[in-house]
Structure 1
């Protein structure tokens, strides 16, 4: 079949959303909307008309797409994409991934001592994507549980452990501080790379953002200003009545005091009070900080598992 791989144009949005949603229904992945996809493509530093590619039939019908996203200073890349179920097993997915891999190499300022790896994610039940990734040189590097809780009961206004209090979040005053602390908390997490502030800000403040869902725990015993932990929530992009918790973290000096558990429980209380009916989050299945058990004790259950695949395009990636 004669397939053309070309750069994305914004006129492609309706057709591309239709392809994504047909693939999502077949693969039990998450669907999207024109508004959500536009917001993702228009985020800072992405430049979709250069870094998003579509596969088109001779009559112009779009049957697949991929992206090439990069954090050049960290040597990390990401890619998303899919192929319309009616047009699979025709090497369209392979060609799209090869195109994205080449674009990743072009985008990265390669130096002899810097490695470049690219990650792609799919649900563990998505056999089509798994076969495609493995056939193009990608290998599983980690698994993440998506955990869920329905707010069937009311929640108490959980108090933080002794010595800690909450400070109201003010975007103008606190946004850069929270960005920096988030990077500090998760700097040793597998696959983590701190994004530029503008990219983080675009992702963390979607339409409908509510400052009340951002919990900032401070050290009362020190000065009421030093941040000890954060629990940041927002409406999930495709489930407006579900809160998405990301990130939840406690700074190293304040761990093992029950602060993380209290922040999570308090976030459920706040979300329920604001009218949300459920909450979700993602956690590394091999997390060594007892996070999975913490979420289970809070009443959350594993809903599904997503696999991260990685391919090294240049150099050697350290474990």
Structure 2
């Protein structure tokens, strides 16, 4: 008998065991701690806390789950859906059941009348995930290459001479300008002032670092956000999360200098590898990353539909 019910904090240990079992088979790299899942239940977002994580039971055994992470946007509510089915319960249609229920929960729990964009991040190495999304009526919106580089290989210095100056990000001084730069480089991003400050503090606590570049007039022309990420049982690796250069400052070597600055920093703090991602059709970025020694590691897609 199947039953889907909301997750409570008491369920988190069992949920972590489920995610670990799926990771061992899929090598998907999803990694959560008790604190991560507790925060998902507590943080401020449009979907009520008791509707954010649901568990699927097959009899008395935990067989799957889904988690909804929602945010308000100018176009309505964007809902990201994460989840998995325990390897022992696959090929029984439970993934489709979870995805259908997740979309229903998103629609029912979001503010009344809100336009909802339902999104599912999918990694190619998770068996059947692309086909499942497509059979469930979702369409591929974006496709990414995930690249990785071993830091034990020498990282050359950046030879480009810049007129811009790279500095550590200061929320009080740089926050508004960084958000404006995000608007130009990553339209539709999720950062808001309070989220930006919180993410910066969390990144610094985990030895990450953010840089901003300003030209001689003081205009913020580029930025790079680098952090530390732990994947399943593997040791932590470096993550270059966002790297952006404003259109007027491109083709001057600023992106290369930001990239190499982040790479040297992540190598200096002892991380064995660095990863980053970009869309598969961003050939200029891919060329830069390959030149810097990165190699294609994984493929990922973002599926979505309007509810």
TM-score by length of 1: 0.84
Matched, 1:135 2:129: no
Which residue pairs with 1:7 in the alignment? 6
Matched, 1:214 2:207: no
What CA deviation, in whole Å up to 9, does each residue of 1:248-275 have, x standing for no partner?
Answer: 0001211111110111011111222222
Contact 2:151 2:273 in 1 (8 A): yes
Q: Separation in 2 of the partners of 1:212 and 1:193?
A: 20
Q: Separation in 2 of the partners of 1:241 and 1:56?
A: 32
Alignment CA distance shift 1:172-1:209 (3 Å): farther
Contact 2:239 2:275 in 1 (8 A): yes
Matched, 1:228 2:221: yes
Unaligned runs of 5+ in 1: 314-319
Deviation at 1:50, TM superposition (A): 2.0
Which residue pairs with 1:259 in the alignment? 254
Q: Separation in 1 of the partners of 2:101 and 2:162?
A: 55
Q: Separation in 2 of the partners of 1:252 and 1:211?
A: 30
1:168-317 matched pairs, under 5 angstroms:
168-187=168-187, 192-206=188-202, 209=205, 213-220=209-216, 222=217, 225-238=218-231, 241-287=236-282, 290-313=284-307
Which residue pairs with 1:126 in the alignment? 126
What CA deviation, in whole Å up to 9, does each residue of 1:291-313 have, x standing for no partner?
Answer: 11111111111111012222232
Q: Secondary structure at the match of 2:205?
A: coil
Q: Separation in 2 of the partners of 1:236 and 1:50?
A: 27
Deviation at 1:209, TM superposition (A): 3.4
Contact 1:42 1:48 in 2 (8 A): yes
Q: Secondary structure at the match of 2:252?
A: coil
Contact 1:3 1:92 in 2 (8 A): no
Match of 2:104 among 96, 99, 102: 102
Q: How large is the RMSD of aligned CA atoms in angstroms?
A: 2.5
Q: Separation in 1 of the partners of 2:106 and 2:24?
A: 29
Matched, 1:77 2:70: no
Alignment CA distance shift 1:66-1:147 (3 Å): same
TM-score by length of 2: 0.87
Deviation at 1:47, TM superposition (A): 4.6
Alignment CA distance shift 1:244-1:44 (3 Å): farther
Q: Separation in 2 of the partners of 1:20 and 1:94?
A: 18
Alignment CA distance shift 1:193-1:232 (3 Å): closer
Segment drifting more, 225-234 vs 210-219? 210-219
